[in-house]
């Protein structure tokens, strides 16, 4: 099978590309590295089944040759990224999704959408099952991501109803693991970065808010199961074990042996208080459930971060004292920008030039 992966240079997208290649599929990765990282796919460039196209899918998503499936993961996915790039986030969720859908329709290919648990907003129903419609502030600061993904689901469902496109929707809950950027502002990466650099761990609010953390390998297995099916869903993909943010901080401190203290900061606007997926549908229909517990997942993730001390040191300033919007992303060592180039063989470019490409490369 030949699979086009938008946002394939991001945290989640690169793991999906790798898993597809490992099982014998070929991959066309589309990304502009506005939030992804060339390092994520550097080991794949020599693989005969892997091809890279520099592309802003908000402008164009075209792939030459046969395409059997399209996995649409392109989008900023961490709050600092989508709050910093609000219009770009809305564009990739709307125009980018439509371009990816047209690519799948042109090739009569299976299409899967990487949606998000954020479509539930700050939920009034707990835990969250797919039948819940959510509690979203459509004009709040987080709405640029929430509503972009809600629109992406709506247009994907419309393509299925109108054109008979083989669509599948995954609602992804908090996912962590190697290749997360240390400065991306997500709670796992922030805690590990702060613990390893001796900085205070930043907790927003009282720390009693809950999340459910799924290790990236488990999440990718879920995406593959959805890709291989003809089911639409939507399917919640996440770990149903709920824990507080304070419990996560304590686990990271114990894992790293860090002397870092914990400091509290105001809770961001519309930040969900509780988050836990019901995964009954994924278990029964896709035969999927997570297998890697938080202790093992954190061990692997801490090891990945600890092996990159140069990035940790530079990233610590960007997340010190909460998410400081005054620290420019380009000041962080290793932070990907749209002007970075892929190491290795020359890559094709589609859509927009590297100097103007928008955020189509986070994925998950």
| 4-51 residue pLDDT tens | 999 999 999 999 999 999 999 999 999 999 999 999 999 999 999 999
Structure tokens at 55: 């592309």
Query: How are beta strands 262-265 and 201-204 bridged, if at all?
Result: parallel
Provide the whole-model pTM. Answer: 0.89
Per-residue pLDDT tens digits for 117-152 = 999 999 999 999 999 999 999 999 999 999 999 999
Per-residue pLDDT tens digits for 273-293 = 889 999 999 999 999 999 999
240: closest CA among 178, 272, 282? 282
More confident residue, 85 or 324: 85
Q: Using 50, 70 and 90 to split pLDDT, how confident is the model at 342? A: low
Active site residues: 145
Residue 325 pLDDT > 80: no
Cα(17)–Cα(21) distance, rounded to whole angstroms? 6
Residue 54 pLDDT > 60: yes
């Amino acid at each position: 099978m030949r699979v086009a992966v938008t946002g394939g240079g991001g945290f989640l997208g690169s793991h999906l590309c790798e898993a597809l290649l490992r099982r014998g599929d070929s991959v066309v990765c589309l990304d502009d590295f506005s939030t992804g990282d060339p390092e994520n796919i550097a080991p794949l460039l020599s693989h005969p089944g892997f091809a890279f196209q520099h592309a802003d899918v908000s402008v164009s998503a075209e792939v030459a040759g046969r395409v059997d499936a399209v996995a649409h993961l392109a989008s900023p996915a961490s709050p600092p990224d989508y709050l910093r790039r609000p219009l770009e986030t809305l564009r990739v969720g709307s125009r980018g999704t439509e371009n990816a859908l047209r690519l799948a329709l042109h090739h009569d290919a299976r299409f899967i959408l990487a949606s998000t648990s954020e479509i539930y907003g700050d939920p009034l129903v707990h835990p969250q099952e797919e039948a819940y419609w959510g509690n979203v502030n459509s004009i709040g600061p987080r709405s640029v991501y929430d509503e972009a993904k809600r629109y992406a689901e709506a247009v994907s469902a419309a393509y299925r109803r109108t054109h008979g496109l083989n669509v599948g929707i995954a609602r992804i809950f908090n996912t962590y693991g190697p290749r997360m950027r240390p400065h991306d502002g997500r709670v796992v990466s922030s805690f590990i970065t702060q613990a390893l650099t001796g900085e205070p761990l930043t907790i927003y609010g009282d720390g009693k808010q809950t999340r459910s953390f799924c290790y990236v390998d488990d999440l990718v297995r879920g995406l593959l199961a959805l890709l291989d099916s003809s089911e639409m869903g939507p399917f919640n993909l996440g770990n149903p074990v709920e824990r507080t943010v304070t419990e996560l901080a304590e686990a990271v401190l114990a894992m790293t042996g860090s002397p870092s203290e914990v400091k509290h900061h105001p809770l961001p606007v519309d930040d969900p208080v509780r988050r836990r997926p019901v995964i009954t549908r994924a278990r029964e229909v896709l035969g999927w459930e997570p297998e890697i517990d938080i202790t093992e997942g954190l061990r692997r993730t801490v090891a990945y971060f600890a092996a990159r001390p140069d990035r940790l040191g530079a990233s610590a300033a960007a997340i010190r004292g909460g998410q400081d919007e005054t620290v420019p992303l380009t000041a962080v060592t290793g932070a990907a920008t749209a002007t970075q180039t892929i190491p290795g063989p020359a890559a094709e470019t589609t859509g927009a030039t590297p100097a103007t490409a928008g955020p189509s490369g986070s994925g998950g």
